[in-house]
Structure 1
Amino acid sequence: MRLNICIFILTICQSGYGNQTKQSDQTRPLPFSSVEIKKTINGAICDSCRVDNFLHAEPDFSYVVIGTGHTPNRFSPLLQKIKAAYANDGLNTAIHLISTKEIDIAFLPNAVRQTGKMVQLYRNFGGDEYSNLEFEAAQNGKVIEQSTQLSTLGKIENYIIFGRKMIGDQTVSVRWPQTYHAGHYQLAVNDTLKVTIRNINTKRVVKVIIFIRPPDMATNFWYYQLKLTGNNFSNNLQRILNTVEPSNISSGDTTTMFEKDDQAIGILKYNNLGSNETLQYSFENKPDTWQLARSDNPDQGTFMVLGSELQAGKYQDIYLRYTSQPETIHKITLLVKARPFQMPWGTIALISTLLLITIGVVTYTLHIRSNKKLAELKRKSEDTETRLTLLSGQLNPHFLYNSLNAIQGTINNGNPERANAYIGHVAKFMRDVMDNGKKEFLSLREELAIEEDYLKLEQQRQAFTYAITIAANLDPLLIDFPPLLLQPVLENSLRHAFATNHTNPMLNVSIFKENATLYVEVSDNGNTSWDTEKAKEGHGLSLTKKRLAVYNDKLEAMPIKMQIKYQPGTGTITTFSFKNWFA
């Protein structure tokens, strides 16, 4: 994506050094009224080279810093806090917050001794002679320059410091008679450089100079979007150029997310940048993608314009940094809002008609398919119910056959009265079986009541004990259950597992759940595996498996599985699992 940022360059006419500027080593207009620093290349003065610098001049001690200007306005709140912390140190302390990495420091005497007397160079001289002073430099608390006498320091290389003064209508520049280069220093972000100047003899502190390089985030801007349409575009643009801030602005100090309408330009305006300060911007955080944004008239602000060519409906990251501190990068995100959808009325009418026709055809087709699917589901449901009814019809005679065998055995034992009572109990049980066997589902409580009646009938024929255990978190009245599902399993345990002599035959029915699955376990302590040995041809177990197949065909998402496992010395365990029964 090619994105262009227009840079508003607001220019003003700049004056020179006066009507005419002369540089001379012979003419010495003392005292000087200002300072000028020139860069030299191979010994020659470069008049077009920009030199960032500032002079800190006081009667007792003066110095010039090359490589940076005065503390930027954006650092003012931080500077005030730091000054307050040093307010009571009792020393003559100067604090400078800088953004650049490299600086040179040169001590600049206000007066020099010539022919036995002090000759004034700049402002009023009121301090020690520089020949009686020494300095020490410490970076982050570690001394990097031991105490060194100022008179042993040489002049700064690659720069010439001039004193300047107006004489009539001319500005005369003369090389400063004496300078002392205190060194070239490099500061990382958050570094502190402390320079201490003392009297050599008394060790009295004359001056303390502190340089701090805090993180310089390019956040001191406000954002405003300007619509490209309408009669007020020119007036609004002129207001911005005249530094009149509009009301609907967003501050870069408080937010990193901004929005822009598709038919508008976004404007980032940086105020109060120094005359030599420049910004860089990029749409990708890569070394070769940074571009320069600067203004020849910082008093009017530095502008960055985000054009209407940015892609609508997308987020665009923009990276910002000061050229003086490239390692500190600030990222903002611009959301270009999608253009409102507009369509001619004729096109809307045509599309609406086609949509109505399409919807009608689709609705009719879906209706036909839905009716076919409902009919198919109805046939499948009727078929399932028929199969269950047929299986129940086979199950009832099976129960009747087993019950008649039990009655016959009781009569053959010569106990007609017991046989009569047993016949009555069997008749009631068979009526419950025939009534409930026709149902697709009944409650688990009803199923357990039928099975318990069956077990009590069997207890009249043979001795055994049983127990039914239901987990506390289950309510059998609220659980649907296939009717007569457990009876064939109970019957096989009684007929086959306890077929041989058994001292303490026992049946257990346990009902519990795990997650959404219901489990019913029927276990006996018999010493025979009735599923694999005795009951291969059993009608009851065969019917049970067929019934489960029908239920699983109907309830595909809620399958019922039966597993029979024999453990020697323990007995047979039959487990029914009802998956998703509680979903």
Structure 2
Amino acid sequence: MQGIRPDNAVEYEFQVSEFPGKKVVAPWNRISSFTDSIQIRASGFPKMAYLGGYRAALGAALIVDVREVKRSRIISTAVIAWEPVQPEITSIYTSATLDQLFQQLQAPWLADQHPPGSFSSGVKIPSSNTNLVFTLQEGVFARNQIQYELTRNGKVHTAWRNNAYANSFVWLKDLPHGDYKIRIRYTAQPQQIAELSFEITRVWHETIAFRLLAAILSLVFVLLLLLFVRQRRKSRRAEINKSILQLELKALYAQLNPHFVFNALSSIQALINKQDIRAANAYLSDFARLTRDSLVHSQKNEIALHEEIQTLDTYLKLEKLRFGFSYNIKVEPGVNEYETNIPALLLQPLVENAVKHGVAGKEEAGHIELLINKSGHDMVIILKDNGEGITEKTSVSGLGLKLTRDRISLLNQIHPGRQINLAIQNTVPKGARLTLTFNQWFDEGTTDRR
């Protein structure tokens, strides 16, 4: 500090504090050090007070106060702080222009430092590009001097990290498509950040249209392959088995009759007209799942009880949206629904009959209950509704009941030791109760019938 020499130094003292916070780094103290001959020759100034060297935290400043000892009057105040420095992105190099980057590294005076338009924010780069290099202003930096963060579609893709290269560039590789923002800072001044936005675009085989077309073609191919395999299979079953397959096909048509399909699509249209897109999507998804499950299950003689329950739940959920009734499916603890099999689609026509002829007209007052329990070695399934009950008209027009009775008759012929019985009765005051009894269904060797 000029003006303070060895002959007058006893008249002054100094203090060093940090700002913000006013943390005292060096308390009030007398001046005892001065510049030496080397510093005098280098600066050209006469001998003066030397107050020492001090450190401050990043982002902070040092305040040096000098005062007269006798009057305690501050005669000088100095503030020392870092000058804010922010990185500057000068260029962007891609896989197609890496040769220019190498030229810049080898002979900077010959390289094109600013490829036209390459460093403008919002630049679009195809995802076929595997290299992306951001160069900074001139300088060679250690790895821990530069840090960067990368966000993709508004979410952090790469959290703040030290640069991977000891040079003036950040090199990124193999980025998926999306909207990106790179943020670069010097480690010594983390509050000074340079930002640049860019987009990695999709290549043609990553577009939604292509993927949708590929999915459709794959589905068509699989369906054609399944049809081809099925056509090549020779029938090895007896006439009764052929009859069962025909009845199962009729049962499938009974489930997916045009009336049900029309009503389901009408319900979806009504939801769309009410702007209830979420409900419409949910309805459409359930309808597609029911259609798919029915087609898959119709190819099997038996399926797991759990699969049958899932199909029934999906169907009742769809019909509940139309008619407003409530329903309940309960499996007693004694029945393992995952290891117990049941003839495929056997319950579906009965449940549809309970909806169509039972609770369809009762709206929210309607209720259907399906109970599955174990009685000794038998499995008992009870289906109840609080509709008008089974009438003569219902018995005649109920295609589902007739198909179910026919299937049970044929199944009992194939498995005489495991008879299936169907009992139907009206309940008091209103409603119908259907009881399906699967005799000897849990005998040893038949419980896990997969």
Whether these two folds match at TM > 0.5 is: no
Interval of TM-score (by shorter of Structure 1 and Structure 2): 0.3 to 0.5
User: Which is higher, the Rg of structure 1 or of structure 2?
Assistant: 1
Select the structure with the greater relative contact order (CA < 8 A; seq sep ≥ 6).
1
